[in-house]
Amino acid sequence: QSHQAVFEAGVAGPDLESQLRARGFTLGHFPQSFEYSTLGGWIATRSSGQQSLGYGRIERLFAGGRMETPSGILELPPFPASAAGPDLREAVLGSEGRFGILTEAVVRVTPLPRTEEFHSLFFPDFEQGGEAARRMLWSGIPLSMLRLSTAQETETTLGLAGHEFLIGALERFLSVRGVAKHKCMLLFVVSGGEQIVKTARKEALAIASGCGGVSVGKTFGREWNRTRFRTPYLRNTLWEAGYAVDTLETAISWSAIPGIIREIERALGEALAEAGEEVHFFTHLSHLYPWGSSLYTTYLFRLAEDPEENLHRWRRLKDGASRAIIAQGGTISHQHGVGVDHAPYLPAEKGPLGMAVLGDLCRRFDPSGIMNPGKLAG
DSSP structural state of residue 143: -
Provide the H-helix boundaries in the chain.
13-21, 39-44, 52-55, 58-61, 89-92, 126-138, 151-160, 164-175, 194-210, 219-226, 234-240, 257-271, 307-328, 346-365
CB of 335 vs its own copies, minimal distance in Å = 5
- Residue of 11, 12, 88, 216 interacting with its own copies (CB under 8 A): 88
Smaller CB distance to its own copies: residue 289 or 314? Answer: 289
The answer to whether 128 touches 121, Cβ cutoff 8 Å, is no
CB of 266 vs its own copies, minimal distance in Å = 22
- Residue of 128, 294, 297, 298 interacting with its own copies (CB under 8 A): 294
- Residue of 183, 201, 284, 287 interacting with its own copies (CB under 8 A): 287
Q: Which residues contact 130 (CB under 8 A, 6 or more apart)?
A: 148, 254, 257, 285
Smaller CB distance to its own copies: residue 260 or 279? Answer: 260
Site for its own copies in 300-339 (CB under 8 A): 329-338
- Residue of 94, 213, 221, 320 interacting with its own copies (CB under 8 A): 94
Torsion sign, CA atoms 236, 342, 145, 291: negative
Which range touches its own copies (CB under 8 A), out of 54-62, 161-169, 173-181, 314-322? 54-62
Smaller CB distance to its own copies: residue 141 or 279? Answer: 141
Q: Which helix (H) or strand (E) holds 282?
A: strand 279-289
- Residue of 14, 210, 217, 354 interacting with its own copies (CB under 8 A): 354
DSSP string, 309-371: HHHHHHHHHHHHHHHHHHHHT--S-SSS--TTTTGGGHHHHHHHHHHHHHHHHHHHH-TT--S
Give the C-alpha separation, 294 to 311, whole Å.
26
293 counts as binding its own copies under rule CB under 8 A: yes
- Residue of 163, 291, 327, 369 interacting with its own copies (CB under 8 A): 291
Site for its own copies in 122-151 (CB under 8 A): 134, 138-142
Q: Which residues contact 257 (CB under 8 A, 6 or more apart)?
A: 130, 285, 292, 293, 295
CB of 188 vs its own copies, minimal distance in Å = 15
Smaller CB distance to its own copies: residue 58 or 187? Answer: 58
Please tell me the number of Cα atoms within 13 Å of 65 on its side-chain side: 31
CB of 350 vs its own copies, minimal distance in Å = 7
Q: Which residues contact 271 (CB under 8 A, 6 or more apart)?
A: 279, 313, 316, 317, 319, 320, 321
CB of 340 vs its own copies, minimal distance in Å = 13
One-letter amino acid at 283 equals T
178 counts as binding its own copies under rule CB under 8 A: no
84 counts as binding its own copies under rule CB under 8 A: yes
192 counts as binding its own copies under rule CB under 8 A: yes
158 counts as binding its own copies under rule CB under 8 A: no
360 counts as binding its own copies under rule CB under 8 A: yes
Smaller CB distance to its own copies: residue 128 or 158? Answer: 128
Count of residues that bind its own copies according to CB under 8 A = 96
- Residue of 136, 170, 346, 371 interacting with its own copies (CB under 8 A): 346
Smaller CB distance to its own copies: residue 244 or 371? Answer: 371
Smaller CB distance to its own copies: residue 158 or 252? Answer: 252
Each as own residue / partner, the long-range contacts of residues 204-208 (CB below 8 Å, 24 or more positions apart, any chain) are 204/119, 204/136, 204/141, 204/143, 205/119, 205/121, 207/132, 207/135, 207/136, 207/139, 207/141, 208/121, 208/123, 208/132, 208/136
378 counts as binding its own copies under rule CB under 8 A: no
Strand-pairing partners, residue 102, are: 67
- Residue of 26, 51, 152, 191 interacting with its own copies (CB under 8 A): 191
Site for its own copies in 238-257 (CB under 8 A): 251-256
212 counts as binding its own copies under rule CB under 8 A: no
Residue 138 burial (10 A CB sphere; 0-12, 13-18, 19+):
exposed
Smaller CB distance to its own copies: residue 271 or 377? Answer: 377
